[in-house]
A and B are shown apart, each in its own frame.
Chain A
Amino acid sequence: AQTVTQSQPEMSVQEAETVTLSCTYDTSENNYYLFWYKQPPSRQMILVIRQEAYKQQNATENRFSVNFQKAAKSFSLKISDSQLGDTAMYFCASLTGANSKLTFGKGITLSVRP
């Protein structure tokens, strides 16, 4: 069974600063994908970033980047230059197996302070 653990229930950051959200996962698969999704108060889940397990290079998308440590099964999200619109719940998720179902962590509530 796949598990995804997000141990920090909430975090707060000052606008324009950098914040890192932690995630660990467990899988016996050799090949898999990892994702970070954002869920603002309007509730629609939005893809933030995707990482392929066989790629050593960390994925980046504008202000968002990941630190993927495959041996440690760690997948943290760094948000640079935080903006008020970044306030949301952030979910880490893994995708394994042919059916491509996502396994989500419990999420972390991020608040960006003006």
Chain B
Amino acid sequence: DTGVSQDPRHKITKRGQNVTFRCDPISEHNRLYWYRQTLGQGPEFLTYFQNEAQLEKSRLLSDRFSAERPKGSFSTLEIQRTEQGDSAMYLCASSLGQWGQPQHFGDGTRLSIL
């Protein structure tokens, strides 16, 4: 069990640029989640996948955000035309498919917008 892996750990970019983050879940986990965490707050749900299907998106996920999980394994989260308010830690988590299974988190990707 290698755990949930996220890349990069830290991304610094200028306002208006596009960024893409990657998440590799624990191999046998078919559910994958993205959360956003701002300083001093708890994580907020963004979206989740069951295998390759994206089953729910939060209203926090504006049309500048898109997430994919093309083969039901790794996932990418892209932010287009970044804004100052996008600065946050983006956390990925995965779990087994049965309801109530605990979610295992990665180290996160910290996004800083200049």
Contacts and interface: CB of A to CB of B under 8 A. Distances in A.
Interface of A: 4, 33, 35, 37, 42-47, 50, 52, 91, 93, 95, 98-107
Contacts, number: 59
Nearest 7 CB-CB pairings of A with B: A104-B42, A45-B105, A101-B45, A99-B56, A33-B100, A47-B102, A44-B107
Contacts of B108: 43-44
Which of A35, A46, A100 counts the most B-chain CB atoms under 10 A from its CB? A100
A103 B104 contact: no
B87 to A, nearest CB: 15
Nearest to A101: B45
Contact of A101 (B56, B91, B107): B56
Given A100-B31, A101-B48, A93 B42 contact: yes
Interface string B83-109: 000000101010100011111111110
Given A47-B103, A102-B35, A107-B42, 14 more contacts: A4-B42, A42-B107, A43-B108, A44-B105, A44-B108, A45-B43, A45-B91, A52-B100, A99-B56, A100-B31, A100-B48, A101-B48, A102-B93, A106-B41
B33 A106 contact: no
Nearest to A105: B42
